[in-house]
């Protein structure tokens, strides 16, 4: 039982456990980023929402306008901070020209993908708390350890800005994590988007299964596993997508 918006409310156990796992992942070294870098990305994701430069950019006619210095919350390189803040606050105006400028000059393709995965998980957990009027979770203390640096041999260019993995292309040359990311999931673009770093797919959809619906339940209209119906869930999803100008 948690108290938010002035009232006590019960939060499903599987939701709390999914958030706990997300924070455990955040505090550990990833595939291409160490734990301190991952926690710093989460700090910058939060900082971006109150960043004056980001607010100025949102009001500018072009995202390339000179809007000043970001309100940085970490010691990450300023160019990396800019990438995080843009993705967090102005994602719908990112362009391939911008991407080609920052990858690989600022970040490798793999680090760029992992950065997006961390931003997505941080926003999911944080917005849940904000929506219920709950304080944000304290970010984890980074744990020691080195990134695994596991490459996925079957990653291919497939019309996106970054290489992706088709589940049918997986081979013995790929790490176990590449197979695990598609367990119980198809190969739709939303699954493949972060597949260059399989741990990001598994992590994001571990949250998605609890906060939205597992893939197996999406079209089981004879079963309503949540307190609201499928149609109500999709109405909310469509409204949020429209507000965020999400083309998916």
Q: Does residue 9 belong to any structural domain of this protein? A: no
DSSP three-state, residue 116: helix
- The total of other beta-carbon atoms located within 10 Å of residue 84's CB is 27
5 falls within a domain: no
What tokens does 186 get?
């198809």
202 and 243 share a domain? no
Residues 139 and 242 in one domain: no
Give the angle 74-245-40 at the CA atoms, nearest 5°.
10
pLDDT tens-place string over residues 93-135 = 999 999 999 999 999 999 999 999 999 999 999 999 999 999 9
Say yes or no: 203 and 247 in one domain.
no
Handedness of CA 117, 210, 49, 139 (dihedral sign): negative
Predicted confidence at residue 3, as pLDDT, reads 66
Number of folded domains that form the chain: 2
Residues 174 and 149 in one domain: yes
Q: Which domain holds residue 191?
A: 17-211
- Rounded CA-CA distance 243/188 in Å is 23
Q: Are residues 156 and 54 in the same domain?
A: yes
CB within 8 A of 187, min separation 6: which ones?
166, 167, 168
Is residue 84 within 8 Å of residue 44, measured between CB atoms?
A: yes
C-alpha closest to that of 84 among 66, 96, 71:
71
Q: What is the mean pLDDT of residues 33-61?
A: 97
Considering the domain boundaries, does residue 95 fall inside one?
A: yes
Using the structure block, give the residue that is written with the tokens 């497939």: 158
Name the helix (H) or strand (E) containing 2.
Answer: strand 2-4
Q: Tell me what pLDDT residue 5 has.
A: 62
Question: Quick one: pLDDT at residue 6?
Answer: 60
The yes-or-no verdict on residue 1 having pLDDT over 80 is: no
Shared domain check, 87 and 52? yes
Query: Quick one: 186 and 70 in the same domain?
Result: yes
Domain match, 117 and 165 both: yes
Count CB neighbours of 191 within 10 A.
Answer: 20
3-state SS assignment for residue 229: coil
Task: For 216-244, write each residue's pLDDT tens digit.
Answer: 898 899 999 999 999 999 999 999 899 88
**Tens of pLDDT, residues 63-81:** 999 999 999 999 999 999 9
Nearest partner of 139 among 4, 212, 14, 37, judged by Cα: 37
Q: Is residue 4 assigned to a domain? A: no
For 139, the 3-state DSSP assignment is coil
The whole model's pTM is what?
0.94
183 and 222 fall within a common domain: no
Give the integer Cα–Cα distance in Å for 43 and 70.
Answer: 13
CB 200 within 8 A of CB 116: yes
Q: Provide the token pair at 136.
A: 């944000």
Q: Please report the pLDDT score of residue 231 as a whole number.
A: 94
pLDDT of residue 247: 72
Residues 130 and 162 in one domain: yes
Tokens encoding 97? 């020209």
Kindly state whether residues 60 and 126 are assigned to the same domain. yes
Looking at the structure, tell me whether residues 206 and 222 fall in a common domain: no
Mean pLDDT of 29-43: 98
**What pLDDT, on a 0 to 100 scale, did the predictor assign at position 8?**
73
| Host H or E run for residue 9 | strand 7-9
């Amino acid at each position: 039982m948690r108290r938010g918006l002035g009232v006590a409310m019960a939060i499903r156990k599987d939701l709390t456990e999914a958030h706990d796992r997300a924070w455990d992942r955040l505090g550990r070294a990833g595939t291409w980023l160490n734990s301190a870098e991952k926690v710093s990305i989460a700090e910058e994701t939060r900082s971006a929402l109150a960043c004056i430069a980001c607010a100025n950019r949102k009001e500018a006619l072009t995202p390339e306008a000179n809007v000043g210095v970001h309100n940085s919350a970490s010691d990450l390189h300023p160019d990396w901070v800019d990438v995080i803040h843009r993705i967090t606050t102005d994602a719908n105006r990112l362009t391939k020209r911008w991407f080609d400028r920052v990858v690989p000059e600022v970040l490798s393709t793999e680090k760029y993908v992992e950065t997006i995965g961390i931003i997505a998980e941080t926003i999911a957990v944080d917005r849940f708390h904000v929506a219920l009027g709950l304080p944000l979770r304290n970010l984890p203390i980074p744990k020691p350890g080195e990134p695994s640096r596991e490459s996925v041999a079957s990653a291919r260019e497939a019309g996106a800005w970054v290489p992706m993995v088709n589940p049918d292309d997986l081979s013995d040359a790929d790490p176990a994590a590449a197979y695990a990311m598609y367990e119980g999931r198809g190969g739709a673009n939303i699954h493949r988007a972060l597949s260059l770093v399989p741990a990001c797919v598994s992590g994001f959809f571990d949250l998605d299964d609890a906060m939205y619906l597992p893939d197996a339940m999406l079209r089981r209209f004879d079963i309503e596993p949540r307190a609201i119906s499928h149609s109500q869930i999709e109405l909310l999803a469509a409204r949020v997508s429209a507000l965020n100008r999400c083309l998916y």
